[in-house]
Structure 1
Amino acid sequence: MNDRGHGLDGDHPVRTSCARSAGTHTETAPRCSGHLGPDCGVPSRSGTGAHPPALLSQSFRPYGPMYRGGDRSLSGVPVNRVFSGIKKISQEDSVTTLSKAVESFVRDYPEADTTEASYALTLRRCAKTLGRDRPAADVTGEDWHDVLIELWGQRSANTWNRNRAAVKTFLGWLGDAEVATVKLPALCRARKVVIDETKAIDPEELQHLWDPDAVGLRERALWRLLYESSSRAEAVLALNIENVDLKARKARAVIKGGRTIWVYFQRRGAELLRKYIGDRARGPLFLTNRRPRDWRTRPREDFAPDGRRCRLSYDRAEHILKAYAGITLHILRHSRLAYLAGEGVDTPMLMAISGHTNPATLHRRYARPSGKAVTRLFNKLEAME
């Protein structure tokens, strides 16, 4: 032992405060059980011959937490000066940052996996913009409104409403958890959704999406599966290989509201999936080509077994489709349902395919024949005259 003292495993130097130091400790105090070395004479406040557990969780200092009750430390420095740094660290650790609050909310949220994933994506983007290490209690309702405007102010009414709902639910959870009482300002309203009856695309106009010379295998498999199954993109992207039965041409998916249903696809979709899956036996069905930037915040189940790639995110998948074809992932579902309705498929079958439980919603939003379907009907009527 040198004149600086000894430490735990030689990693933490301790000032001369052991029994070899002249007059540093009294002989009446209980001795340490030896976790700081056989010659340690640091008295134990608990009287059990061992230092408090809290002491073991931080780098040891001879004027550590066990002397907090005294007026002076062993070195003669006033205790309130010695512990000012330790108290500050403890206070900082106790602050609920925005990042911690978001991750706690995601873990505690009781809704379906698809809704949870959507909310997590929204809130993590907001936290990144507002500052992950910012105390959650310091973020005002106006701050949340500003970040919503910045990220989704120019997007569609559906996108705005979805992300606004995520933030509103999160703020309610903060209040229930007694972290902060924050509400969105009155001007942060939901927007009216205007239905566009012309956005359905005929099958002939989608053929370029399956072109093997222009589109990669992953995108062709994903887009074909979305179109043939008429499923929501969130549910399809959440699929694992274990959920897919290629022989029966169906997959077990969790859809909006937490319901688990079978989604069905056709022969071409099954062939593309078989090629894309290859020899993989488990893990996310659709994977990124490389490790994404936010891989540290991804849950364990989003990683491939090799740990190198992650589940393909909704935002990335939509960005790729928009860059290539100028349409959204949801247009594939909308176009397929409109085509089936135009071909005379009845309502119960459409509901079974789409997963809808309310026929009014199905007919109001999706089951509208395309322009070409109307043109074909008129041609038939003219032929009958």
Structure 2
Amino acid sequence: MPTLVHLPTGKAVTVRAAADLFLGSLGNPNTVRNYGIAVGKTTERLGEGRPLASVEDAEIGEALELLWGRSAVNTWNARRGAVLSWTGWCSEHGYEGPMVPAWAKRLAVPDSETPARSKMAVDRLIARREVHLREKALWRMLYETSGRAEEILGVNIEDLDFAGRRCPVKAKGARTKARRRGQAREDYVLETVYWDAGTARLLPRLLKGRTRGPVFVTHRRPGPGKVVSSRDVCPDTGFARLSYGQARALLDEHTAVRGPGTGWDLHEYRHSSLTHLGEQGASLLMLMAKSRHKKPENVRRYFKPSPDAIAELTSLLAPGDSRR
């Protein structure tokens, strides 16, 4: 068995060395194997030869999102937990480095429910003066399209049909397995989402005459060491596409009331949108068309009528003259 050499506390350590030291400290082979998957892939994404101290918290969160953001909830929680243990171990042993950001939070298990916010709460948040125009436009578009956050963040200006108030998005397709390789593969299809007057008013103000590149961008150019695809950079300003992790952190910043990580989640706009449409009388078929779900049981999980809506519905059962 190889001898484990601990580096002196405070001495510079690379991402790979920190990962090896952490995994070497674990006694259970099963834990080593499971944690090794999460920590190993994360270090590859971050850059194994980098000094651990140069890695920022946001980079850890974005690595998790890129690697397992589309995975099942239990997979996300397991991989996040392993990386959280790694960064915590490094901190405890004196190796300066990043932590898992609060916005990359543990997800609710499938049996629990993502909340549907009231329409008043959605409108009030977007109307707040301290909220930047970019966030206002993104949140309004998420709500009015009932779209997934990664779909809306991936939209380019060239895709927008302002007259028709619609645009194509790259949507998740069927998840299949390649027979020979046994590897999971997710197919993607182009689907159309539609928005209404709120988004129509905000988008032109946000774009300020830009005619190409990502709709939602950061407020500064990417750093010299960050590799970004040309499709994810505005050719006119040089600003990079706003990432899911950045958008998630911004929403948490404006909605957290019990500390970082306790705010709203981007997916709540989709739940809220479909719930409000259902409360207004939209049929199951129309909700499926709006959400682009293929199975009725999937869209039913998004419909969470409020107590007030149920009370109003119940009032329809009252005697004919009692509602006069």
Structure 1 residues 210 and 151: CA distance shift in structure 2, 3 A: closer
Q: How does 1:1-385 map to 2 (within 5 A)?
A: 126-127=42-43, 132-133=48-49, 159-162=73-76, 192-196=109-113, 199-211=115-127, 213-257=129-173, 258-293=188-223, 296-306=226-236, 308-325=238-255, 326-363=263-300, 365-382=301-318, 384=320, 385=322
Distance in 1 (alpha carbons) for counterparts of 2:247 and 2:294: 27
3-state SS of the aligned residue for 2:191? Answer: strand
Retained in 1: the 8 A contact 2:218–2:242? yes
3-state SS of the aligned residue for 1:213? Answer: coil
Distance in 2 (alpha carbons) for counterparts of 1:289 and 1:125: 29
Retained in 2: the 8 A contact 1:295–1:310? no
Amino acid at match of 1:256: K
CA deviations on 1:209-244 (whole Å, 9 max, x unpaired) are 221523111111000000000000000000000111
Amino acid at match of 1:245: D
Retained in 2: the 8 A contact 1:161–1:191? no
Larger Rg: 1
Distance in 1 (alpha carbons) for counterparts of 2:239 and 2:79: 30
Retained in 2: the 8 A contact 1:209–1:223? no
Retained in 2: the 8 A contact 1:160–1:191? no
Structure 2: 5+ residue stretches without partners: 1-14, 17-37, 51-59, 81-106, 174-187, 256-262
3-state SS of the aligned residue for 1:254? Answer: strand
Distance in 1 (alpha carbons) for counterparts of 2:143 and 2:218: 21
Instruction: Give the CA deviation at 1:159.
Output: 4.8
Structure 1 residues 291 and 369: CA distance shift in structure 2, 3 A: same
Q: Which has the higher contact order (CA 8 A, sep 6+)?
A: 2
Retained in 1: the 8 A contact 2:73–2:109? no
Amino acid at match of 1:210: I
Structure 1 residues 290 and 124: CA distance shift in structure 2, 3 A: farther
Structure 1 residues 343 and 127: CA distance shift in structure 2, 3 A: same
Instruction: Give aligned-pair identity as a percent.
Output: 34
CA deviations on 1:3-53 (whole Å, 9 max, x unpaired) are xxxxxxxxxxxxxxxxxxxxxxxxxxxxxxxxxxxxxxxxxxxxxxxxxxx
Distance in 2 (alpha carbons) for counterparts of 1:256 and 1:266: 23
Instruction: Give the CA deviation at 1:306.
Output: 3.0
What is the TM-score with the length of structure 1 in the denominator? 0.52
Instruction: Give the CA deviation at 1:374.
Output: 1.0
Structure 1 residues 334 and 125: CA distance shift in structure 2, 3 A: farther
Distance in 1 (alpha carbons) for counterparts of 2:73 and 2:109: 11
Distance in 2 (alpha carbons) for counterparts of 1:339 and 1:323: 25
CA deviations on 1:181-226 (whole Å, 9 max, x unpaired) are xxxxxxxxx99522327x1112012222221523111111000000
What is the TM-score with the length of structure 2 in the denominator? 0.61
Structure 1 residues 123 and 311: CA distance shift in structure 2, 3 A: farther
CA deviations on 1:255-304 (whole Å, 9 max, x unpaired) are 11212111000011111011111210100010001124586222111111
Distance in 2 (alpha carbons) for counterparts of 1:231 and 1:272: 17
Structure 1 residues 270 and 208: CA distance shift in structure 2, 3 A: same
State the partner residue of 1:116: none
Retained in 1: the 8 A contact 2:73–2:108? no
What do you get for the CA RMSD once the two structures are aligned?
3.5
Distance in 1 (alpha carbons) for counterparts of 2:41 and 2:274: 32
3-state SS of the aligned residue for 1:239? Answer: coil
3-state SS of the aligned residue for 1:200? Answer: coil
Structure 1 residues 378 and 221: CA distance shift in structure 2, 3 A: same
Instruction: Give the CA deviation at 1:381.
Output: 3.8
Retained in 2: the 8 A contact 1:201–1:370? no
Structure 1 residues 358 and 165: CA distance shift in structure 2, 3 A: farther
Distance in 2 (alpha carbons) for counterparts of 1:327 and 1:200: 10
Structure 1 residues 383 and 315: CA distance shift in structure 2, 3 A: farther
State the partner residue of 2:179: none
Instruction: Give the CA deviation at 1:330.
Output: 0.3
Tell me how many residue pairs correspond in the alignment: 225
CA deviations on 1:129-162 (whole Å, 9 max, x unpaired) are 875239xxxxxxxxxxxx99x979xx9x955534
3-state SS of the aligned residue for 1:272? Answer: helix
Distance in 2 (alpha carbons) for counterparts of 1:270 and 1:207: 15
Retained in 2: the 8 A contact 1:244–1:250? yes
